Amino acid sequence: MLFEPLNSDGEKRSAQYHAARLAMLHDRVVKRMDRVDHLADNVEHAAAVLVEATHEPANVDMSCRPLPKFQPDTV
């Protein structure tokens, strides 16, 4: 019994391959864009926190004394 040869139409096979490859690459680009969008949201949130922290008055306790300067042991 002889088997029917596989599709030997190279142009059709090439077009199917390229269409499948393009679809795969498109999916990868969409996933990457979603990831970049999520990371950009994180950066925007961190920047907002930084701006808020720099505009708040600092609660510094000025009653503490400064530490004495370091004096190395001389031998």
CB within 8 Å of 13: residues ≥ 6 apart = 7
Amino acid type, 54: T
Please write the tens of the pLDDT for every residue from 56-72.
776 666 566 666 677 77
This prediction has a pTM of: 0.52
Q: Where are the chain's structural domains? A: 10-56
**Which pLDDT score, from 0 to 100, does residue 74 have?**
65
